Amino acid sequence: MIKFKITVINIFVLISIFSCNKDDNGTIPNNIYTGTRILLTDTEGAGFPTWSPDGNKIAFKQQDGALFIMNSNGTNKSLIKSWVTGRPQWSPNSNYLAYTDDRDSWINIYRIDVDGNNEKKLLKDSIMPDHLSWSPDGKMIAYSGMDSLFERKLYIMNNDGTNNHKVSTSVGGIFCPYWSKVGGKIMFSSYNSYNSVELYLVDTNGTNLKKLNIGSLSFSLDEPQLSTDGTTIYFSAFSLNGNQSIYKINVDGSGLTNLTNNIGFPERIQLSPDGSKLAFSRYLDNVNALIIMSSDGSNLIQINKYQYAELGSWSPDGSKYVYSDQVDGISGLYIIDVSDIKK
């Protein structure tokens, strides 16, 4: 789960309350993945794998923060940086990685070439950036950052750090911006003064701000996912009784649907590139399981064998998934074929 600093103490309290009230009687998937797991690398502590958009490479981090890049078949592994804090994000052309890092006791955004050269610090030490998202053409980066009034706002800059500016909206407490691949929209969540988190869409120039009505649900702090065609949003949220589920809603605010019906405590979610499947981690009965299901909430399959799992990354064509696991005593990154999970 994503964690924030400074102005969000109440959010941690909110999460703790809901975590204690999670429904441990939720539905556990009957299906356990029995297909082939291919060991990609047995690097100790490897995690947070991220597939490049061109499908040729995979970036990952070790527990000590070291950032590596290797070919998608596991060959030519190379150390890019000895320490980074955030999860690396590939540029759409697969030429760069961008990430947050807290070196020098201050969080900043950095960009580095895929070969590990030309690392560039993109911000001045004043904004405290959070989660970042590349524009579809790779020319710009959106992120949430602290303004002079210590409120989190939406920012956009060129991918070299120039033209950094705050997007003018009436909403504060902004987290998790996500740049839509179509329509010039940015989706973000906002923590308000009533201890709830709301979901918004806005044009990149700050116009046409729209709050999505999710009824009595309290949107969670995990990253929402927007379908490639820009029509559907997937997110996890708490109901009034403290149970958490994964929901979907149309961008016009219609069609709110509970997809998982309280299967423990689902954390982050990832939509497959073609929109047919969702991967998510969920905590239940002292096990952090990695689940892949159809995006309509059917065909749930538990992927991991080890009792702890974290989200990995879809291949660009959505046919494979890379994640960290321990199989027959060997810890590392594994790739599975998800074609046996029905659409």
Domain segments of the chain as ranges? 9-337
Query: What does the pLDDT read at residue 304?
Result: 85
- pLDDT 10s per residue in the chain (343 long)? 333 333 332 332 233 222 323 333 344 555 888 888 999 998 878 888 999 999 999 999 998 889 999 999 999 999 999 888 888 999 999 999 999 888 777 889 999 999 999 999 999 867 788 889 999 999 999 999 887 777 889 999 999 999 999 998 888 888 889 998 887 889 988 876 556 778 889 999 999 999 887 877 776 656 788 888 889 999 888 777 777 888 999 988 899 999 988 666 666 789 999 999 999 987 767 777 899 999 999 888 889 887 777 789 999 999 999 999 888 888 899 999 987 665 4
Residue 9: predicted pLDDT:
28
Please state the pTM of the whole predicted model. 0.85
Helix, strand, coil: what percent of the chain each, to 5? 5, 45, 50
Q: Please report where in the chains the tokens 């990609």 appear, as a residue.
A: 40
Q: What is the pLDDT of residue 220?
A: 65
pLDDT (0 to 100) of residue 43:
80
3-state SS class at 241: coil
Distance CA 228, CA 163 (A): 27
pLDDT for the residue numbered 12 = 29
**Tokens describing residue 166:** 């705050």
Q: How many residues does the chain have?
A: 343
DSSP state of 104: G
Give the separation between CA 11 and CA 19, rounded to whole angstroms: 12
d(CA 101, CA 209): 30
Homologous superfamily (CATH) for 9-337? YVTN repeat-like/Quinoprotein amine dehydrogenase (2.130.10.10)
Please state, in angstroms and as integers, the Cα–Cα distance from residue 85 to each residue in 68, 100, 103, 134, following that order: 13, 6, 8, 18
CA distance 35 to 137: 36
Measured between alpha carbons, how far is 197 from 4 in angstroms, rounded to an integer?
14
Per DSSP, what are the bridge partners of residue 299? none
pLDDT at res. 222: 67
**For residues 300 and 78, what is the distance between their CA atoms, to the nearest angstrom?**
35
